[in-house]
Amino acid sequence: MSVLVMKFGGTSVGDLARIRNAAEKVKREVERGHDVIVIVSAMSGKTNELVGWVEETSPLFDAREYDAVVSSGENVTAGLMALTLQEMDIPARSWQGWQVPVQTTSAHSAARIEDIPRTNIDQKFAEGMKVAVVAGFQGISPEGRITTLGRGGSDTTAVAFAAAFGAVRCDIYTDVDGVYTTDPRIEDKARKLDKIAFEEMLELASLGAKVLQTRSVELAMRYKVKLRVLSSFEDTDDNSGTLVCDEEEIMEQNVVSGVAYQRDEAKMTLISVADRPGIAAAIFGPLARAGVNVDMIVQNISEEGRTDMTFSCPVNQVARAKDAMDKAKESGEINFHDLVADTDVAKVSVVGIGMRSHAGVASRMFDALAAEGINIKVITTSEIKISVLIDRKYMELAVQALHDAFGLDSAA
């Protein structure tokens, strides 16, 4: 029997009518002969409400109780989905994470799935159950406490089930009809991609294309799970949406597949630090311990043993970064003349596995930005990505110019 995993996000199960609509899609797959594992999110807005209640009750909350409360949104949807399917005469039942059990680490609110034993669900399938509706986002720790996987974690639940059950595919139903070359709200010529490679999706996911939780893409890549993103509000078939897959499965490949952006970045420069062995460790150690997510790093040339060190981080971490640097200075770990923060920058990136085999992507990118008079402040590159930091007010313009320069509005 072939297992299909279908995941429905918060807006796809936002009210009873939408749950019914999702159940219709499940029914169709059952009729096509699949055993279906449905992973559900909480109804849209529910998790935020639960988080709010926890924070209001106890600002320095016990993370175990946070998980107990916040995981409950998914339980409601799982039960309602099972009931809806039963009303359609489909043998279905709900499963909370601990009943499967979805075994996780004890890192409350950011737990990782360690194992999903198949025995319990397989037994029910063997007894005639057609659909297992599993509450996403949650599991159980070795200590027997309920855990959650971090915001957006239901995607990861879905991929983990697909891997554990050797599913033919993992379909992620959401409120958009696929993965786009860039954000359609910024560039109306953005085009839906039929296929995208895992590695590209990882870059796009972590760069702020919010369709999938990054961790779920990592997991899909590791276990070679065929992952598909599609809309729950449209008629869909086997070719709908965007398939996230191995790059070998993509025949025609654009050099660049997408343009991503991160609006709220900051650029910090430590002016005149001693250029000596260990200085980078002395700067970035305290930043990491303060929870600052440093992204780009540039060390300038040094003169007379002193240098400037520039890094970028999210704008809402600037105060924390400053504090960490001031403390490191007070304690004598580092010495710098000044710390300058530019909080009006954004990051724009082009991503594509085709870059590995094509030269000239960087110069094409820089030409396109120059033609719009956009100044580049920091550049970083990886094998399949080039990112630049620019003034935030030019972000939209840069995304549009790059989308155009790499011909992303025309099919590959």
Q: Which does 258 bind (CB under 5 to 8 A by kind): Mg ion, ligand ASP, none?
A: none
Ligand-binding site membership of 9 (annotated): yes
Q: Is 153 in the site for ligand ASP (CB under 6 A)?
A: yes
Residue 152 sits in the site that holds Mg ion (CB under 5 A): yes
Q: Which stretch binds ligand ASP (CB under 6 A): 145-153, 265-273, 279-287, 335-343?
A: 145-153
The Cα 302–Cα 277 span in angstroms is: 13
Instruction: Name the DSSP letter for residue 88.
Output: T
Asked if 348 and 259 touch (Cβ cutoff 8 Å), the reply is: yes
Residue 7 assigned as binding residue = yes
User: Tokens at residue 144, please?
Assistant: 């027997």
Residues in Cβ contact with 11 at an 8 Å cutoff, skipping those fewer than 6 apart: 18, 44, 174, 175, 232
Q: Please give the Cα distance from 77 to 401 (Å, whole number).
A: 43
CA 27 to chain centre: 29
Q: Which of 11, 12, 41, 216 binds ligand ASP (CB under 6 A)?
A: 41
Helix (H) or strand (E) segment spanning residue 332: none
| SS3 state of residue 250 | coil
The C-alpha angle with vertex 182 and arms to 4 and 176, in degrees rounded to 5, equals 40
Does residue 352 belong to the site contacting ligand ASP (CB under 6 A)? no
Q: Which of 149, 104, 121 minimizes the C-alpha distance to 38?
A: 121
Return the one option of ligand ASP, Mg ion, none that residue 14 interacts with (CB less than 5 to 8 A, by type).
none
Positions in 196-255 near ligand ASP (CB under 6 A): none
Residue 90 or 217 having the CB closest to ligand ASP: 217
Q: Is 141 in the site for ligand ASP (CB under 6 A)?
A: no
Asked whether residue 311 is marked as a ligand-binding residue, the answer is no
Q: Give how many residues touch ligand ASP by CB under 6 A.
A: 13
Helix (H/G/I), strand (E/B), else coil: 329: helix
Q: Quick one: which H or E segment has residue 138?
A: strand 138-140
For position 138 contacting ligand ASP by CB under 6 A, the verdict is: no
CA distance 162 to 61: 33
Q: Token digits for 245?
A: 């897959």
211 is in an annotated binding site: yes
Residue 10 annotated in ligand binding: yes
Beta bridge partners of 227: 170, 244
User: Which residue, 135 or 353, has its beta carbon nearer to Mg ion?
Assistant: 135
- The rounded distance, in Å, linking the Cα atoms of 159 and 224 is 10
Smaller CB separation from ligand ASP, 42 or 378: 42
Applying CB under 6 A, among 3, 13, 14, 47 the residue interacting with ligand ASP is: 47
Q: Closest distance between ligand ASP and the C-beta of residue 47, in Å?
A: 4
Contact segment (CB under 5 A) with Mg ion among 9-17, 18-26, 297-305, 390-398 equals: 9-17
Query: Cβ 72 to ligand ASP, closest distance in Å?
Result: 10
With a CB cutoff of 8 Å and minimum separation 6, the contacts of 399 are 182, 183, 186, 187, 259, 261, 348
CB of 275 to Mg ion, least distance (A): 44
- Using DSSP's 3-state secondary structure scheme, residue 178 falls into coil
Question: Per the annotation, does 8 bind a ligand?
Answer: yes
3-state secondary structure of 81: helix
* Residue 42 engages ligand ASP in binding (rule: CB under 6 A): yes
Residue 174 annotated as binding? yes
Binding flag, residue 112, ligand ASP (CB under 6 A): no
Single residue of 154, 312, 349, 400 touching ligand ASP by CB under 6 A = 154
Give the count of alpha carbons within 13 A of 194, CB side only.
11
Q: Using the rule CB under 6 A, which residue among 10, 139, 178, 241 binds ligand ASP? A: 10
Sequence ranges of the binding site for substrate = 47, 74
Sequence ranges of the binding site for ATP = 7-10, 174-175, 180, 185, 210-211
Sequence ranges of the binding site = 7-10, 47, 74, 174-175, 180, 185, 210-211
Binding site for ligand ASP (CB under 6 A): 9-10, 41-42, 47, 73, 136-137, 151-155
